């Protein structure tokens, strides 16, 4: 199922609605890159609140999105990682050290608007 | 560990990976497993199911509810394929080792997420991974 991407001013908001297959995740990556170019976006929020599992593939793909958009001059913030999912990611050995995260959409937008991502 | 009910899921596509972890979570919910443990189980299944689609192309996952000698119940996951097998099992269970271009966290990560983990593999014949996640009380 495709992830809807909304444009809000200089930012894009990708709001994941349900469990994603690996192909959905790769589609999201391609869509975000295309939209960043089309709208000359300065920041992207990926809302993962609806994800009940973030395995190594999803985590690696979100990290790739963050790295790729940074090379295009746009910062990505991942918001809404659920507490159980965070626990599982740490146990799994996933590191999100170089990826910006925020509690929810509101905090993520505030982070982008403040422009103090320091990356 | 006597099985109570078994459910077989064919693993042939990335959609089947999602189905397998959702069915396992449903079983765990039925056992009143805490939601954190449900998530750990579902994540472990995602890793081993993806190994099937990535390396063996197709295989199957069988889920059942098992009970130990103390009456404690758990979800057992048997992931089976007749793919290429794993030539160097010790390295495959080491963080960061991969032959598939991933992060090399699949098997070692899945092992950390569950209570019991067993793997048997024969190069050229296939791989079977068995996981159990126990509920915390009887």
Structural domains of chain A ordered from first start: 5-105 (3.30.750.24)
CATH top-level class of B6-134: alpha beta
Cα–Cα distance for residue pair A23/B42, rounded to 1 Å: 19
Cα angle A22, A96, A3; round to 5? 35
Structure tokens at B96: 């960061």
pLDDT tens readout for residues B25-70: 999 999 999 999 999 999 999 999 999 999 999 999 999 999 999 8
A-chain CB neighbours of B40 within 8 Å are: 84, 87-88, 91
pLDDT tens readout for residues A20-54: 999 999 999 999 999 999 999 999 999 999 999 99
Structure tokens at A63: 């990290």
Q: What are phi and psi of A3, to 5 degrees?
A: -90, 125
Rounded to two decimals, the pTM is 0.92
Cα–Cα distance for residue pair B134/A57, rounded to 1 Å: 25
- Listed by number, the residues of chain B in 55-94 with a beta carbon closer than 8 Å to a beta carbon of chain A are none
Is B95 in CB contact (< 8 Å) with chain A?
yes
Structure tokens at B53: 């689609």
* Element of type H or E holding B116: strand B116-122
B-chain CB neighbours of A20 within 8 Å are: 18
Does residue A56 contact residue A22 with C-beta atoms inside 8 Å?
A: no
**Is the CB of B105 less than 8 angstroms away from the CB of A94?**
yes
Least confident of A14-18, A96-100, B65-69: A96-100
């Amino acid at each position: 199922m495709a992830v809807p991407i909304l444009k809000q001013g200089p930012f894009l908001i990708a709001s994941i609605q349900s469990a994603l297959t690996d192909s959905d995740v790769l589609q999201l990556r391609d869509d975000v890159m295309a939209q960043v170019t089309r709208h000359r976006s300065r920041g992207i929020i990926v809302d993962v609140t609806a994800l009940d599992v973030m395995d190594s593939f999803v985590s690696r793909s979100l990290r790739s999105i963050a790295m790729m958009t940074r090379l295009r001059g746009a910062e990505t913030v991942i918001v809404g990682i659920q507490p159980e999912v965070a626990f599982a990611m740490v146990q799994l050995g996933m590191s999100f050290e170089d990826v910006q995260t925020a509690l929810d959409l509101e905090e993520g937008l505030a982070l982008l608007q403040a422009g103090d991502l320091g990356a | 560990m006597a099985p109570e009910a078994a459910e077989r899921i064919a693993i042939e596509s990335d959609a089947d990976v999602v189905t397998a972890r959702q069915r396992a979570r449903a079983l765990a919910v039925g056992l009143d497993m805490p939601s954190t443990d449900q998530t750990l189980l579902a994540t472990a299944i995602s890793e081993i199911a993806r190994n099937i689609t990535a390396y063996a192309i197709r295989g199957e996952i069988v889920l059942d509810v098992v009970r130990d000698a103390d009456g404690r119940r758990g979800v057992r996951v048997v992931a089976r394929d007749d793919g290429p097998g794993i030539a160097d099992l010790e390295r495959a269970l080491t963080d960061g080792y991969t032959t598939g271009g991933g992060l090399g966290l699949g098997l070692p990560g899945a092992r950390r997420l569950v209570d019991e983990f067993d793997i048997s593999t024969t190069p050229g014949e296939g791989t079977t991974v068995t996981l159990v996640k126990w509920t915390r009380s009887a």
